[in-house]
Amino acid sequence: MNQKFKKNQMMKKVFTAFILLLSITPAFAQGGATAISNAASDIKDYWDPIKLILKAVGGLVGFIGGLRVYNKWTNGDQDVNKEILGYGGAMIFLIVVPEFVTAFFA
């Protein structure tokens, strides 16, 4: 009998804590929309410099990739087509992603 009573009391305490938590949570969530709005505006502020950095990195990767392709081509390697496709895909990715993210946050 005593064990059953203790178990029942424990269940009541857990249930009360759960209800209390559920009733307080919306009060804390009120600032969530403002925080998301502030984060989106911060991302918009920083995006233009980041976009320029991504394009600069893309240009550097493209230049190095061009040198590697030229080196393989002059040495007569068989993997030239694979190398061109790999660096071409990387360059397209580096050009398209900043534009896509700009459209997403605009």
Indicate the domain borders of the chain.
Answer: 1-30, 40-105
Burial of 11 (0-12, 13-18, 19+ CB in 10 A): exposed
CB atoms within 10 A of CB 3: 7
Question: How much is the average pLDDT of 53-66?
Answer: 84
70-104 tens-digit pLDDT: 898 899 888 888 888 888 888 788 778 888 877 87
**Distance between CA atoms of residues 60 and 56, nearest Å:** 6
**Distance between CA atoms of residues 17 and 87, nearest Å:** 58
